[in-house]
Structure 1
Amino acid sequence: MKNFELFLNETGISIFYIKVGLGFLSSFLITFFSIPTIIKISKRKNLMDEPGVRSSHLRKIPNLGGIAIFYSIGICTSIFAYEIFDLYKFLFASLIILLYVGIMDDIVVMRAYKKLVAQVVVSVLIVVGSDVRIRNLFGIFGVYEVHYWISVFVTVITFIILINAFNLIDGIDGLAGGYSLICSALFGISYYRLGEYNYPLVILSVVLIGSVLAFLYYNMSNYRATKIFMGDTGSMLLGFLLAFTCICFIDIFIDKKLFSIPSYHLESAPVIAVAILILPIVDTLNVIVVRLWNKKSPFEADKNHIHHKLLKLDLTHRRSSFYIITYYLAIVTVTYFLRHTNVNLLLFIVLFLGFLGAYIPDFIFMLKNNKIKTNN
Structure 2
Amino acid sequence: MKRKKMKNFELLLSHSGIPLFYLKVGLGFLFSFLITYFSVPTIIKISRRKNLMDEPGLRSSHLRKIPNLGGIAIFYSIGICSSIFAYELFDLYKFLFASLIILLYIGVMDDIVVMRAYKKLVAQIIVSSLIVIGSDIRIRSLFGIFGIYELTYFVSVLFSIITFIVLINAFNLIDGIDGLAGGYSVICSALFGISYYRLGEYNYPLVVFSMIIIGAVLAFLYYNLSNYRTNKIFMGDTGSMLLGFLLAFTSICFIDIFIDKALPNVPRYHLQSAPVVAVAILILPIVDTLNVIIVRLINGKSPFDADKNHIHHKLLRLNLTHRRSSFYIIVYYLFIVTLAYYLRHINVNLLLVIILFTGFLGAYLPDFIYNTRNLKSNN
Aligned match for 1:284, one of 263, 281, 289: 289
Q: Which residue of structure 1 lines up, in the alignment, with residue 121 of structure 2?
A: 116
Amino acid at match of 2:166: I
Q: Distance in 1 between matches of 2:53 and 2:25?
A: 35
Aligned match for 1:100, one of 97, 105, 112: 105
Q: Distance in 2 between matches of 1:4 and 1:293?
A: 58
Are 1:73 and 2:78 an aligned pair?
A: yes
Are 1:176 and 2:164 an aligned pair?
A: no
1:259: Cα distance to partner?
3.2
Q: Distance in 2 between matches of 1:273 and 1:284?
A: 16
Alpha-carbon contact 1:61-1:227 (below 8 Å) kept: yes
Q: For 1:269-294, what per-residue CA distance to the aligned partner results, in whole angstroms no more than 9, with x for missing partners?
A: 00000000000000001101111111
Report the 3-state secondary structure (helix = DSSP H, G, I; strand = E; otherwise coil) of the residue aligned with 1:139: strand
Q: Distance in 2 between matches of 1:9 and 1:80?
A: 13
1:255: Cα distance to partner?
11
Q: Which residue of structure 1 lines up, in the alignment, with residue 309 of structure 2?
A: 304
In the TM superposition, 1:188-203 aligns within 5 A as 188-203=193-208
Q: Any stretches of 5+ residues in structure 1 without a counterpart? A: none
Q: For 1:327-357, what per-residue CA distance to the aligned partner results, in whole angstroms no more than 9, with x for missing partners?
A: 0000000110111011000000000000000
Amino acid at match of 1:153: L
Q: Distance in 2 between matches of 1:197 and 1:349?
A: 32
Are 1:235 and 2:240 an aligned pair?
A: yes
1:253: Cα distance to partner?
6.3
Q: Which residue of structure 2 lines up, in the alignment, with residue 154 of structure 1?
A: 159
1:136: Cα distance to partner?
1.0
Q: Distance in 1 between matches of 2:326 and 2:263?
A: 43
Structure 1 length-normalised TM: 0.96
Q: Distance in 2 between matches of 1:127 and 1:338?
A: 30
Q: Distance in 2 between matches of 1:74 and 1:245?
A: 16
Aligned match for 1:18, one of 23, 33, 39: 23
Q: Which residue of structure 2 lines up, in the alignment, with residue 273 of structure 1?
A: 278
Q: For 1:90-123, what per-residue CA distance to the aligned partner results, in whole angstroms no more than 9, with x for missing partners?
A: 0000000000000000000000000000000000
Q: Which contiguous aligned blocks of 4+ residues in structure 1 show a shift greater than 2 angstroms? A: 1-13, 253-263
Q: For 1:53-107, what per-residue CA distance to the aligned partner results, in whole angstroms no more than 9, with x for missing partners?
A: 2100010000000000000000000000001011000000000000000000000
Report the 3-state secondary structure (helix = DSSP H, G, I; strand = E; otherwise coil) of the residue aligned with 2:230: helix
Aligned match for 1:140, one of 141, 145, 148: 145
Report the 3-state secondary structure (helix = DSSP H, G, I; strand = E; otherwise coil) of the residue aligned with 2:81: helix
Aligned-CA RMSD value = 1.7
1:262: Cα distance to partner?
4.5
1:13: Cα distance to partner?
2.5
Tell me: CA distance 1:103–1:9, structure 2 relative to 1, closer, same or farther (3 Å). Answer: closer
1:14: Cα distance to partner?
1.1
Report the 3-state secondary structure (helix = DSSP H, G, I; strand = E; otherwise coil) of the residue aligned with 2:189: helix
Amino acid at match of 1:156: I
1:52: Cα distance to partner?
1.1
Are 1:355 and 2:360 an aligned pair?
A: yes
Alpha-carbon contact 1:197-1:254 (below 8 Å) kept: no
1:263: Cα distance to partner?
3.0
Percent of aligned pairs with the same amino acid: 80
1:153: Cα distance to partner?
0.6
Are 1:208 and 2:243 an aligned pair?
A: no
Amino acid at match of 2:255: I
1:256: Cα distance to partner?
7.1
Structure 2 length-normalised TM: 0.96
Q: Distance in 2 between matches of 1:79 and 1:342?
A: 41
Q: Which residue of structure 1 lines up, in the alignment, with residue 321 of structure 2?
A: 316
Are 1:30 and 2:38 an aligned pair?
A: no
Q: For 1:229-257, what per-residue CA distance to the aligned partner results, in whole angstroms no more than 9, with x for missing partners?
A: 00000000000000000000011169979
Report the 3-state secondary structure (helix = DSSP H, G, I; strand = E; otherwise coil) of the residue aligned with 2:241: helix
Q: Distance in 1 between matches of 2:7 and 2:347?
A: 47
1:264: Cα distance to partner?
1.7
Tell me: CA distance 1:248–1:153, structure 2 relative to 1, closer, same or farther (3 Å). Answer: same
Q: Distance in 2 between matches of 1:153 and 1:338?
A: 30
Q: For 1:6-26, what per-residue CA distance to the aligned partner results, in whole angstroms no more than 9, with x for missing partners?
A: 577687521000000000000
Report the 3-state secondary structure (helix = DSSP H, G, I; strand = E; otherwise coil) of the residue aligned with 2:142: strand
Q: Distance in 1 between matches of 2:222 and 2:378?
A: 41
Q: Which residue of structure 1 lines up, in the alignment, with residue 50 of structure 2?
A: 45
1:367: Cα distance to partner?
0.5
Q: Distance in 2 between matches of 1:39 and 1:116?
A: 28
Alpha-carbon contact 1:169-1:280 (below 8 Å) kept: yes
Q: Distance in 2 between matches of 1:56 and 1:11?
A: 48
Alpha-carbon contact 1:267-1:343 (below 8 Å) kept: yes
Q: Distance in 2 between matches of 1:10 and 1:226?
A: 40
